[in-house]
A and B are shown apart, each in its own frame.
Chain A
Amino acid sequence: MNPDRTTHQLLAIVRELRPDTDQSGGLPGEGAPAIEVRGLTKTYRHPWTLRETAGLCDVSFDVRRGEVFGYLGPNGAGKTTTLKILTGLLKPTSGQARLMGRDIQLVESRRPLGFLPEQPYFYDYLNGPEYLEMVARLSGLGAREARAAAIRWFGRVGLGDRPRLVLRKFSKGMLQRLGLAAALVHDPALLILDEPMSGLDPFGRRDVRDLILEQRERGVTVMLSSHILPDVEALCDRVAIVLRGRLERIATVGELVAGEAPRVELRLAGQPMLEWPARFAGEMDRTRSGGDTVLTLHDAALMQELLGWLVSQRIEVRSVTPVRSTLEELFMAAAEGAAIQAVIPAESRRRSA
């Protein structure tokens, strides 16, 4: 194989594979936001000491109609607090929010809403269809319609073979599926899902992913929080990262990834002994893998130059792979950054004292 030809072919492929940096464009069907959050703040006051703890600080964002919106953050960051305020379970200390244009203070704002709480709990003495029928009717469906929807969704989430089993005998995964059916039973226009993949096996996760994508196809707006970042990356149009009660970042997954310096991995045949030009020093790492040499170039802008140099040195380049940071890596970096920022002011305060 002619190394020059292979390298040129690879260069052409790389040009095609180069991540599209213009992914921040609008989504189809943009209109009034499905969820509008403005300056939402929640503080908890200890009943005895009256000491206040901030749960959420001045959070503002919009979720567009028809998009899947990921809401990420470590435990205690304020994710569930936000979702509970939106669903009427917590009262905000200040700020406003609207669901489908309706103020969350109004009970009617929850009519187009389907909500899956984290680790949903149900009535032990009911069976699945009974429960689904009840919640469907609470969301406004008529008796006959609710019964039909309950049976349909009970089967749709893979529980249809156990219609008489009481809920106290359900496994954790079965309860999670039932919770999802309860959120969907009245065909809501807006879904808020708190950790929808929690407690599910890989098959269950795949089913839930498919269900969420199906809802997106139907035009349903989905806001979800999850710790399973590959799922978020696969599902979400945009992602918000919340840390210590503050919204740190909000962007499309493409924007988040595009914002990072792109890396490129080059696999060279064998382990050539080379004297690397100084301009590449510090810009790449070299490792050995299966008898080949793997170069990880931290600055993709240098790739053409490096490839040209390798060709001139008659080195066979087996592959060139652009490497994107995963959402998980970006999330961890953001969390660590926020942790450092929280420590620095404390340190400086201590020094000045």
Chain B
Amino acid sequence: MNALLIAQNTFREAVRDRVLAGILIGGLVLMALTRVGSVLAMGEDLRLTVDLGLSSISLLGLLVILLVGTSLVAKEIERKTIFNLLSRPLPRPVYLIGKWAGLTGALALVALVLGTALALLVTALGSPQHIPAIAQATYLAVLELSLLTSLAVLFSALSTPVLSALYTLGMFLAGQWCDDLRRLAVKLPAGAREVLATIADVLPNLPLFNMRSLAAAGDVTGLAHLGLATGYAVLYCACALALASAAFESRDFK
């Protein structure tokens, strides 16, 4: 119940923040601009529109996480607003879960608005058959963003906003290459192979949430993929938040 209250408050904070409104407007403008770029796409304009539209959901979501999410907890500590919350019967892990859920909710709203705008655009272009694929890709983007938010909460609970932004960005970039790391690990000698494979396993497997190329072609993915991605995201978020809670539990607020 208290997690819901914190989530509601975090959602309200994010929605009332000008950053979110700016990014949302920017996303809509970007989507409209894909029509200009599609002139150069030589018949692949729909594919380009869908691909860029879905990419903008992920990248703008990441931008929200870097600008808002990475200071989610650190800003509360810095500005001492956390004193009024943690001096109440609110367990610290519940507070962190609430912060994560609130920002994930705000990101889901951004993804929903941009995904709907993209669906309307492809319908206007005469290809409504792309809508199921766009819906799936948007859902996976939300899962990816929720996972990155859990990492942002973890880093924000332990570090300064700037450092947690750098760590989160680093995890995002490294997560994109975790398949490549796994392939590289196989070619390495024993010892180094296990180390690299472990690193690849610990990094978030972000390619799992990427079905942009598939959606650009109008193809949908299977329920097994969606289920696996959902399970993976839930598990990864739970681990990241458990780690954050363990570190946050003993923290002093001077």
| A interface with B by C-beta (< 8 Å) | 84, 87-91, 107-108, 110-111, 113, 115, 117, 119-123, 125-126, 134-135, 137-140, 179, 182
Contact = CB atoms under 8 A, between A and B. Distances in A.
A111 B90 CA distance: 9
A84 B254 CA distance: 8
B80 interface: yes
B128 interface: no
A108 B12 contact: no
B251 to A, nearest CB: 8
Taking chain B's interface residues, is the majority helix, strand, or loop, or is none over half, making it mixed?
loop
Given A107-B89, A137-B5, A117 B12 contact: no
Contacts of A119: 80
A170 B136 CA distance: 45
Closest 4 CB pairs of A and B: A87-B87, A115-B87, A125-B16, A117-B83
A90 B85 CA distance: 14
B84 A122 contact: yes
A137 B85 CA distance: 11
A84 B253 CA distance: 8
B83 A121 contact: yes
Interface centre among A89, A90, A120 (most CB of B within 10 A): A89
Interface centre among B2, B88, B254 (most CB of A within 10 A): B88
Given A84-B254, A121-B83, A125-B12, 7 more contacts: A110-B87, A110-B89, A113-B87, A115-B83, A137-B5, A138-B89, A139-B88
B230 interface: no
Interface centre among B17, B79, B85, B252 (most CB of A within 10 A): B252
Contact of B79 (A87, A88, A89, A121): A121
B243 interface: no
Contact of A89 (B5, B16, B83, B89): B83
B252 A134 contact: no
Contacts of A117: 80, 83-84, 87
Nearest to A194: B83
Interface centre among B9, B86, B89, B250 (most CB of A within 10 A): B89
Contact of B9 (A84, A115, A123, A179): A123
Contacts of A140: 89
A182 B84 contact: yes
A179 B91 CA distance: 21
Contacts, number: 72
B98 to A, nearest CB: 10
Given A89-B83, A134-B5, A107 B91 contact: yes
A125 B81 CA distance: 12
B87 A89 contact: yes
A135 B84 contact: yes
B13 interface: yes
Contacts of A107: 89-91
Contacts of A125: 12-13, 16-17
Given A91-B250, A126-B12, A138 B83 contact: no
Interface string B202-221: 00000000000000000000
A123 B252 contact: no
A179 B85 CA distance: 12
B84 A111 contact: no
Contacts of A135: 84-85, 88
Contacts of B87: 87-89, 110, 113, 115, 117
A207 B9 CA distance: 30
Nearest to A81: B254
Contacts of B79: 121
28 contacts: A87-B87, A88-B87, A89-B83, A89-B86, A89-B252, A90-B253, A107-B89, A108-B89, A111-B89, A113-B88, A115-B84, A115-B87, A117-B84, A117-B87, A119-B80, A122-B81, A123-B9, A123-B81, A125-B12, A126-B9, A134-B5, A134-B9, A135-B84, A138-B5, A138-B85, A138-B89, A139-B88, A182-B84
A91 B252 contact: yes
Contacts of B252: 89-91
B88 A120 contact: no
